[in-house]
């Protein structure tokens, strides 16, 4: 069978592989190379060594964006997962309207980041205006909180569904057994349910972490980095370095920032892989 | 087997779309070529002599097209219809794309790296030009350059002419004369900063009785913060340059920043809103307040005329007065008049596209249709010999002031080192408005003076 | 355990209240899209439309006739559908091939695909736009090639993950019966893959429909705009944003998603969850 399938490789492999080369391999390799160059288009690149990286690291705005992103990621990962887990616990109880609520909570996840950002910008600005506080464009605290609220609204439903799946797979016999042993509800939760769904928690944590780190559309639409780049996250900072600043040095610097960003994301993925492998071995 | 067939049907569909699109391209290029041939004929008959003058034109001219990346969203509709009538008249395809407000640089940057880059774009002055100097076509020999009324409207780099101003605008303080009269004053009473201050403060003192305030609220978000961080900030810079006899500077000294503070204090403490709440108002709110006759003064420019006119104001009710900040010979001060809109032609475009673009530009500022559209539909004053008088009240007033012998204030903000600098100043102004302490004003001074140097050094 | 009927009604009302509260941002947009321009300002957004501020469907008509909503909608649908079909067909074939043919090339390709899933878009943003431009892949009619390339990682990964668990015996039997590999794949393997196709399809469709940055950088903006681009463009327009038509556009954008969701809720939730757990 293998032999006859092998002959068909142009049909099976080629379309995807060619598109993949155009859409990923070539741009990626070029991007890697260009991070060592000064350029304004791909054709006029001039090799300048690691100068771009030095510029990128010494750019105060890039550092500020990194810390902002990190703070944002930690806050949103915690709030999304805690709320989603509590909602999941609530919705695994049987009551009328339970499925309806699941569907409602999940819905915002389907709306795109630009539209979401815009909806929330209108809403938050109105609230701010009514209480007499500076609008989003001038108010970095509101921008930060707003981004977290937006992310929670979008992601809670998604994480909740994953948690529900995890909670449902905890065998009833275990819970019964702990009850017979005289455990309170709280003890059952912390001693039985949470350890059993630990792999699910790991998955959700990393899913929200990478989503928060790579956030772009929502950031662009809700605050656009205002005021004065104070709410600019890494992805938006890279975009702005590329496209909002004119001059020869910026593009190379943007590409170097992108490479650094890429390395951070790769490291996070490896950490995730290792953690989930470890937890598999334990079980 | 049925399923297999359906899969193949899908595959055929995909391939056919592929082919369909390539055949689309050829289909669309055919009429274009036809049109271009027509255009060539037209061009020869219409302006035969002109054509001969142009060095690169002649043969390639036939197949060119124009792609104009427009900066002014408020003029988008007018440009679209002007482009359409040009295409009807000459057959040369003209595409006008307007960048969303605040996104011009971003859009220009990503469009310029494409193969079908804009052939016509704009820069805001010497600082903007520095970023694009490598791609600007030298307009020294172009027909449009010869149409300019004054050489000072050309943006030069050494001997080459890289940008041509296409609109002259004025800004100042727009006054609702009816309300001013109700308060017991007329615009002749305002001849200096001291006058403006005493009238504004008098109106504020009686605002509950009068039912209106002196100034509209600020609009400090991105929708109109340029009125203060750029336009108002121009005045201290202009007077400093005047004082030092220079036209630009690597480091600003901030000689007149205390005057900047005075006018800013006047604006924010005599407006429709509590200074602390200014940051929760937008530019729209500001305009709506003026339209709803809730304020006498509204700092803005001649580009605002159309929307005020459409909003129900007659010419008799409105006037624009200079922004006095208490420096120099105030009796002789005119409106702030200048331009930050320079047309540049993309040197890397195909020769035939460059030729077509030059023709289009020239047509806009010489033909009857073009000049009328620019004066009426766009409300522009254009610095070209065939310009038609614009019905724009504020523009007419500027001419009036100049005739009386007043000196217009030049637009020095084209020498501001970068957008970053402007944002920094805007930020500091907002912080100061929310809490008027000396510390916060020091923040404005730092953003103004130190920020200038930092950003200037970054760019050079 | 029988419950008091009053308590039951109360609980249902509570559920309804929670749902309405959670959906409030969307409800707010719908209400405001029915108002006249002047009634939509920072202070009045929370007010219900009244007789003097009610604007009927005028905002929707403006959005559709004047603001180019229909064209954008068409481009968005067209791009999503063509890209989705090509991703599903090509990537399932590719995944089938690299799981069934065990060679160094196969496993190299597999890891490359997995690797591409992790790479953030900003890394390739500039170079991808340039490559697409050089190859003229800048129209809605051929941008699916770019999407196939950039979306292949996730699709191949998920298909391959499922394929490994499909027993090879059935395929071998089909081959012996005289099917060629293409027939085997489309007649035997594809039907088995159905649940994965649904999952991959939903995940990729969500991405394609909502994607903003890639089409902004790649498409020829002189002629084409997708819905997310249109919304962002509205937002950025000068001080004077036409709030009414823009709200209407947002409603028109969200509405199809909600409709599809109501009918295919089960699949969507399942698809997105299984994608997450594997990814």
From residue A83, alpha-carbon distances to A129, A145, B378, C21 in Å are: 28, 16, 54, 16
Mean pLDDT of A124-137: 80
pLDDT (average), residues B407-435 = 87
For range A52-75, the mean pLDDT: 93
In a domain, B57, yes or no: yes
With an 8 Å Cβ cutoff, are C141 and B17 in contact?
yes
pLDDT attached to residue C271: 78
Residue B83 pLDDT level (bands cut at 50, 70, 90)? very high
Whether residue B326 is found in the same domain as residue B245: yes
Q: How many domains does chain B contain in total?
A: 2
Share of chain B above pLDDT 70, in %: 85
Percentage of chain B exceeding pLDDT 90:
44
Domain span at B39: 32-168+340-377
Quote the mean pLDDT of chain A. 88
In this prediction, residue B267 carries a pLDDT of 93
So what's the pLDDT on residue A52? Answer: 92
Determine the Cα–Cα distance for residues C179 and B221; give it in Å rounded to an integer.
Answer: 67
Closest-CA distance of chain B to residue A95, Å: 43
Compute the nearest-CA separation of A185 from chain C (Å).
20
Nearest-Cα residue of chain A relative to residue B123 = A246
Rounded Cα–Cα distance for residues B315 and B306 (Å): 11
Residue contact C8–A96, C-beta within 8 A? yes
How many helices, marked H, and strands, marked E, lie in chain A?
Answer: 16, 2
User: Do B109 and A41 lie within an 8 Å CB cutoff?
Assistant: no
* DSSP string for A189-255: IIIIIHHHTHHHHHHHHHHHHHHHHT--HHHHHHTTT-STTTT--HHHHHHHHHHT--SHHHHHHHH
Assign A31 a pLDDT band (cuts: 50, 70, 90). Answer: very high
CATH number for the domain that contains residue C164: 1.10.3720.10
Distance CA C119, CA A266 (A): 7
- Quote the tokens at residue B424: 């920094």
SS3 A168: helix
Residue pair A31/C123 in contact by the 8 Å Cβ criterion? yes
Q: Which SS3 state, helix, strand or coil, does residue A172 take?
A: helix
d(CA B304, CA B23) in angstroms, rounded, equals 46
Distance between CA B346 and CA A168 in Å, rounded? 63
Do B116 and B135 fall into the same domain? yes
Residue B39 burial by Cβ neighbours in a 10 Å radius (0-12, 13-18, 19+): buried
What does the pLDDT look like over A186-214, one tens digit per residue? 888 888 888 888 888 888 888 899 899 99
* Consecutive H or E run containing C121: helix C121-134
Exposure of B138 in the CB half-sphere (CA atoms within 13 A): 9
Q: Is C160 inside any structural domain?
A: yes
Indicate the residue of C118, C185, C261 with minimum beta-carbon distance to A269: C118
Q: Is residue C166 part of a domain?
A: yes
Residues B235 and B122 in one domain: no
Average confidence score pLDDT of chain C: 85
Give the pLDDT mean for C54-78. Answer: 85
Q: Does residue C117 sit within a domain?
A: yes
CA distance C176 to B125: 76
| Number of separate domains in chain C | 1
Q: What is the pLDDT of residue B119?
A: 95
* Domain presence at residue C38: no
CATH number belonging to domain A54-282: 1.10.3720.10
pLDDT at site C42: 62
Please write the tens of the pLDDT for every residue from A70-123.
999 999 999 999 999 999 999 988 887 888 899 999 999 999 999 999 889 888
Q: In Å, how far is A95's CA from the nearest CA of chain C?
A: 9
Mutate to test the interface with A, among B104, B109, B273 (most CBs of A within 10 A): B109
Which SS3 state, helix, strand or coil, does residue A46 take? strand
Element at B318 (helix H, strand E): strand B318-321
Mean pLDDT calculated for residue range C140-147 = 94
Count helices and strands in chain C by DSSP H and E runs: 13, 0
The shortest CB-CB distance from C122 to any of A19, A41, A239 is to A239
Report, in this order, helix, strand and coil percent for chain B, each rounded to 5: 60, 15, 25
At CB < 8 A and 24+ separation, what contacts does C32-37 make?
A: C32/A122, C32/C243, C32/C244, C32/C247, C33/C59, C33/C60, C33/C244, C33/C247, C33/C248, C33/C250, C33/C251, C34/C59, C35/C59, C35/C244, C36/C244, C37/C242, C37/C243, C37/C244
pLDDT band at C41 (very low <50, low <70, confident <90, very high): low
Asked if residue C249 has pLDDT above 60, the reply is yes
Average pLDDT over residues B101-117: 83
- C97 closest CB neighbour out of A9, A251, A262: A9
Query: What mean pLDDT do residues C64-83 have?
Result: 89
CA distance A49 to B322: 53
C191, closest residue in chain B (CA to CA): B3
Interface confidence, given as ipTM, is 0.88
As a whole number of angstroms, the distance between CA A102 and CA A156 comes to 10
What residues of chain A, 95 to 154, have a C-beta less than 8 Å from chain C?
Answer: 95-97, 100-107, 109-115, 118-120, 122-123, 125-126, 129-130, 135, 153
Of A6, A42, A165, the CB nearest to C127: A42
CB B291 within 8 A of CB B312: yes
Using the 8-state DSSP alphabet, how is residue C39 labeled? G
Phi-psi category of residue B321: left, alpha or beta, with phi > 0 → left and psi -120 to 50 → alpha: beta
CB B252 within 8 A of CB B240: yes
Distance CA C219, CA C227 (A): 13
Residue B95 is predicted with a pLDDT of 93
Q: Kindly state whether residue B368 falls inside one of the protein's structural domains.
A: yes
Are the beta carbons of B428 and B440 closer than 8 angstroms?
Answer: yes
Contact A231, A142 (CB under 8 A): no
Q: How many residues does chain B have?
A: 460
Question: Which ranges constitute the DSSP H helices of B255-329?
Answer: 257-269, 283-291, 305-310
| Among candidate residues B175, B167, B168, B172, the one with its CA nearest the CA of residue B315 | B175
State pTM to two decimals: 0.82
| Residue B66 sits in the same domain as residue B177 | no
Beta-strand runs (E) in B35-125: 66-70, 94-98, 120-123
Averaged pLDDT for residues B334-341? 90
Whether A16 and C124 lie within 8 Å, measured CB to CB: no
Is B177 inside a domain boundary?
yes
Distance, in Å, from the CA atom of B36 to the CA atom of A70, rounded to the nearest integer, reads: 56
CA-based nearest distance A126→chain C, Å? 5
d(CA B108, CA C221): 11
Residues in chain A: 283
- Determine the Cα angle at B181 with ends B175 and B186, to 5°: 65
Q: Minimal CA–CA distance to A155: which of A65, A237, A80? A: A80
pLDDT at B8: 42
Domain shared by B91 and B54, yes or no:
yes
Q: Out of A73-77, B28-32, B129-133, B404-408, give the one with best mean pLDDT.
A: A73-77
Helices (H) and strands (E) in chain B, counts: 18, 12
To 10 degrees, what angle do helices A198-213 and A60-91 make? 140
Please tell me whether residues B39 and B137 are part of one structural domain.
Answer: yes
Of B73, B97, B285, the CB nearest to C222: B97
For residue B7, name the pLDDT band (cuts at 50, 70, 90). very low
Write the Ramachandran bin of B94: left for phi over 0, alpha for psi from -120 to 50, otherwise beta.
beta
Q: In whole angstroms, give the CA distance from residue B305 to residue B436.
A: 33
- Contact of A116 with A154, CB cutoff 8 Å: yes
The alpha carbon torsion through A110, A116, A119, A120 (nearest 10 deg) reads 120
Within 8 A of B110 by CB-CB distance, chain A residues are: 243
Give the residue on B whose Cα is nearest the Cα of A11.
B11
* Residue C203 to residue C156: CA distance in whole angstroms: 13
> How do the domains of chain A map onto residue ranges?
2-34, 54-282
8 Å CB contact of A132 and B106:
no
Q: What average pLDDT does the structure give for chain B?
A: 82
User: Is B235 inside any structural domain?
Assistant: yes
Q: Which residue of C has its CA nearest to A153?
A: C22
In a domain, B24, yes or no: no
Q: The tokens 């059952």 sit on which residue?
A: A188
Tokens 């005329």 -> residue: B305
Handedness of CA A26, A27, A31, A37 (dihedral sign): positive
CB-based contacts of A253, cutoff 8 Å, min separation 6:
A52, A55, A56, A59, A241
Q: C158 is in which domain, residue-wise?
A: 69-218
Q: Kindly state the percentage of chain A with pLDDT values over 70.
A: 98
The contacts of residue A138 (CB under 8 Å, 6+ apart) are A226, A227, B220, B221, B279, B427, B430
With an 8 Å Cβ cutoff, are B280 and A227 in contact? Answer: no
C25:A119 CB<8 A: yes
pLDDT of B346 above 90? yes
- Cβ contacts of A263-268, under 8 Å, gap ≥ 24: A264/A213, A264/A234, A265/A210, A265/A213, A265/A214, A265/C118, A265/C119, A265/C120, A266/C118, A266/C119, A268/A206, A268/A209, A268/A210, A268/A213
């Amino acid at each position: 069978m293998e032999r006859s399938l092998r002959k068909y490789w142009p049909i099976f492999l080629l379309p995807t592989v060619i598109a993949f080369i155009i859409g990923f391999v070539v741009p990626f390799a070029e991007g890697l190379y260009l991070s060592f160059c000064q350029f304004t288009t791909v054709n006029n690149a001039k090799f300048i060594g690691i100068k771009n990286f030095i510029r990128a690291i010494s750019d105060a705005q890039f550092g500020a964006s990194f810390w902002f992103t990190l703070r944002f990621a930690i806050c949103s990962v915690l709030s999304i997962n805690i709320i989603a887990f509590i909602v999941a616990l609530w919705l695994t109880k049987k009551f009328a309207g339970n499925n309806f609520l699941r569907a409602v909570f999940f819905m915002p996840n389907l709306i795109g980041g630009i539209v979401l950002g815009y909806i929330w910008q209108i809403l938050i600005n109105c609230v701010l205006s009514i209480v007499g506080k500076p609008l989003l464009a001038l108010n970095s605290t509101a921008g930060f909180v707003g981004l977290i609220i937006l992310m929670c609204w979008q992601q809670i439903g998604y994480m909740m569904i994953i948690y529900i799946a995890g909670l449902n797979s905890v065998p009833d016999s275990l819970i019964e057994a702990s009850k017979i042993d005289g455990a309170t509800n709280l003890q059952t939760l912390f001693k039985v349910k949470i350890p059993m769904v630990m792999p699910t928690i790991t998955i959700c944590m990393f899913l929200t972490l990478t989503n928060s780190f790579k956030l772009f559309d929502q950031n662009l639409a809700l605050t656009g980095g205002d005021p004065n780049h104070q709410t600019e996250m890494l992805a938006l900072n890279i975009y702005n370095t590329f496209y909002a600043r004119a001059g020869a040095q910026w593009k190379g610097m943007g590409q170097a920032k992108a490479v650094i960003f890429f390395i951070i994301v790769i490291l996070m993925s490896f950490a995730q892989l290792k953690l989930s492998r470890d937890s598999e071995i334990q079980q | 087997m049925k399923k297999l067939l359906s899969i193949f049907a899908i595959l055929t569909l995909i391939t056919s779309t592929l082919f369909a699109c390539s055949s689309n391209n050829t289909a669309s290029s055919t009429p274009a070529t036809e049109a271009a041939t027509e255009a060539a004929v037209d061009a020869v008959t219409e302006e035969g002599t002109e054509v001969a003058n142009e060095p690169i034109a002649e043969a390639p001219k036939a197949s060119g097209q124009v792609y104009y990346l427009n900066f002014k969203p408020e003029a988008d509709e007018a440009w679209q219809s002007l482009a359409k009538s040009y295409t009807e008249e000459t057959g040369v395809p003209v595409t006008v794309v307007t960048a969303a407000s605040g996104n011009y640089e971003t859009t220009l940057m990503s469009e310029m790296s494409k193969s079908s880059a804009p052939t016509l774009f704009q820069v805001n002055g010497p600082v903007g030009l520095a970023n694009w100097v490598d791609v600007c076509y030298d307009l020294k020999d172009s027909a449009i350059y010869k149409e300019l009324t004054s050489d000072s409207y050309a943006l030069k780099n050494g001997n080459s002419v890289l940008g041509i101003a296409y609109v002259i605008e004025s800004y100042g303080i727009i006054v609702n004369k009816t309300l001013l009269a109700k308060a017991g004053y007329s615009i002749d009473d305002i001849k200096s900063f001291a006058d403006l201050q005493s009238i504004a403060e008098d109106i504020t003192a009686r605002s509950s009785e009068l039912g209106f305030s002196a100034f509209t609220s600020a609009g400090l978000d991105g929708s109109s913060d340029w009125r203060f961080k750029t336009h108002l900030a121009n005045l201290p810079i202009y007077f400093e340059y005047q004082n030092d006899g220079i036209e630009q500077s690597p480091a600003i000294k901030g000689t007149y920043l205390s005057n900047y503070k005075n006018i800013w204090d006047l604006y924010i403490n005599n407006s429709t809103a509590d200074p602390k709440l200014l940051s929760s108002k937008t530019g729209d709110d500001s305009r709506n307040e003026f339209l709803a006759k809730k304020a006498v003064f509204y700092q803005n420019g001649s580009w605002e005329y159309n929307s005020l006119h459409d909003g129900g104001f007659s010419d008799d009710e409105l006037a624009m007065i200079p922004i006095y900040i208490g420096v120099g010979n105030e009796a002789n001060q005119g409106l702030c008049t200048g331009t930050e809109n320079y047309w540049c032609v993309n040197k890397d475009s195909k020769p035939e596209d460059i030729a077509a673009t030059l023709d289009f530009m020239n047509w806009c500022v010489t033909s009857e249709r073009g000049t009328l559209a620019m004066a009426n539909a766009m409300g522009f004053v254009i610095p070209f010999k065939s310009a038609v008088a614009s019905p724009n009240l504020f523009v007419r007033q500027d001419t009036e002031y100049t005739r009386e012998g007043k000196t217009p204030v030049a637009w020095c903000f084209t020498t501001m080192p970068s957008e970053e600098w402007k944002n920094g100043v805007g930020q500091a102004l907002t912080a100061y408005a929310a809490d008027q302490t000396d510390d916060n004003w020091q923040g404005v001074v730092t953003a103004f003076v130190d920020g200038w140097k930092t950003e200037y050094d970054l760019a050079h | 355990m029988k419950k008091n009927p009053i308590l039951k009604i109360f609980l249902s009302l509570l559920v309804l209240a929670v749902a309405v509260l959670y959906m409030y941002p969307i409800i707010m947009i719908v209400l405001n899209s029915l108002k006249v321009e002047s009634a939509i300002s920072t202070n009045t957004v929370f007010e219900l439309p009244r007789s003097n501020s009610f604007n009927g469907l005028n905002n929707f008509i403006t959005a559709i006739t004047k603001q180019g909503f229909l064209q954008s909608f068409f481009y968005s649908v067209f791009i999503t559908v063509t890209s989705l079909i090509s991703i599903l067909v090509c990537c399932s074939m590719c995944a089938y091939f690299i799981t069934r043919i065990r060679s160094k090339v196969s496993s190299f390709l597999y890891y490359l695909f997995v690797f591409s899933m992790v790479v953030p878009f900003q890394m390739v943003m500039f170079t991808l736009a340039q490559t697409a431009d050089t190859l003229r892949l800048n129209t809605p009619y051929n941008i699916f090639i770019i999407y196939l390339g950039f979306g292949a990682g996730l699709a191949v990964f998920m298909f391959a993950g499922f394929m490994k668990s499909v027993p090879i015996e059935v395929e071998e039997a089909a081959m012996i019966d005289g099917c060629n590999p293409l027939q085997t794949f489309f007649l035997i393997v594809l039907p088995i893959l159905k649940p994965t196709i649904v999952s991959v399809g939903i995940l990729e469709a969500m991405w394609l429909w909502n994607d903003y940055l890639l089409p902004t950088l790649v498409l020829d903006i002189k002629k084409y705009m997708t819905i997310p681009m249109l919304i962002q463009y509205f937002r950025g327009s000068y001080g004077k944003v036409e709030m009414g038509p823009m709200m209407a556009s947002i409603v028109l954008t969200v509405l199809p998603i909600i409709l599809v969701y109501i009918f295919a809720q089960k699949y969507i939730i399942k698809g997105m969850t299984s994608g997450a757990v594997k990814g």
